[in-house]
């Protein structure tokens, strides 16, 4: 038996389970099997729906708080207004509108201030493309460090 196998055998079973991820996103498409968002998708599975009549009621443009694990939604809740304080601090993927940029700090409409660094990965653009009003899709790690910024449709003027 290898050293890695021995270490894994000694861990409690729960230690191998992945923690659920919180996504704060806008739904782009629901085909009844997969939910698609800007730059990502999740399987709908048998997710617990909170405040939603059923999977068919999930419509493009809805802002959702989704708990997911292994790429499958476990709980879906419609966000009627700004995310709760708990949601704002625990998300791993979120969409928000940029209000202002100061150095490496982003001021976002609902999520507040986030700081990026040289390790932050940029998709579809760079810090030079940051303009007030632009929608951003943000990813961060479990420690809250911003790991990725996706700029959807950078060629379009921000709203």
pLDDT of residue 157: 74
Distance CA 75, CA 65 (A): 8
pLDDT of residue 158: 77
| pLDDT tens for the 159 residues of the chain, in order | 555 444 545 555 444 457 889 999 999 999 999 999 988 999 998 999 998 888 889 999 999 999 999 999 999 999 876 666 656 678 999 999 999 999 999 999 989 999 999 999 999 999 999 999 999 999 999 899 999 999 988 777 777
Would you kindly state where each structural domain of the chain is located, as residue ranges? 18-78, 92-150
Global pTM reads: 0.73
Q: What is the four-CA torsion angle of 121, 71, 60, 148, rounded to 10 degrees?
A: -10
pLDDT of residue 6: 46
CATH second-level architecture of 18-78? Beta Barrel (2.40)
CATH second-level architecture of 92-150? Beta Barrel (2.40)
pLDDT of residue 109: 92
Q: What residue has token string 């809740």?
A: 77
Q: What residue has token string 């001021």?
A: 107
62's tokens: 């809805």
DSSP per residue, the chain: --HHHHHHHHS-GGGGSPPPEEEEEE--EE-SSEEEETTEEEE-TTPEEES-S-GGG--TT-EEEEEEETTEEEEEEE--SSPPHHHHHH-SEEEEEEEEEETTEEEETTTEEEE--TT-EEESS-GGG--TT-EEEEEE-TT--EEEEE-SSTTSPP-
Same fold, 18-78 and 92-150: yes
């Amino acid at each position: 038996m290898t050293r890695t196998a021995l270490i894994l055998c000694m861990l409690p079973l729960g230690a191998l389970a992945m923690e659920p991820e919180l996504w704060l996103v806008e739904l782009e498409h629901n085909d009844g099997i997969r939910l698609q968002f800007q730059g990502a998708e999740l399987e709908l599975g048998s997710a617990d729906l909170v405040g939603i009549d059923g999977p068919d009621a999930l419509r493009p443009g809805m802002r959702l708080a989704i708990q997911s694990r292994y790429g499958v939604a476990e709980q879906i809740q419609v966000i009627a207004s700004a995310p709760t304080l708990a949601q704002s601090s625990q998300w791993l993927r979120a969409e928000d509108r940029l209000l202002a940029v100061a150095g490496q700090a982003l001021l976002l409409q609902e999520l507040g201030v986030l700081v990026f660094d040289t390790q932050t990965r940029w998709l579809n653009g760079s810090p030079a493309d940051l303009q007030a009003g632009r929608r951003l899709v943000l990813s961060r790690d479990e420690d809250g460090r911003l790991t990725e910024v996706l700029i959807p449709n950078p060629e379009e003027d921000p709203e």
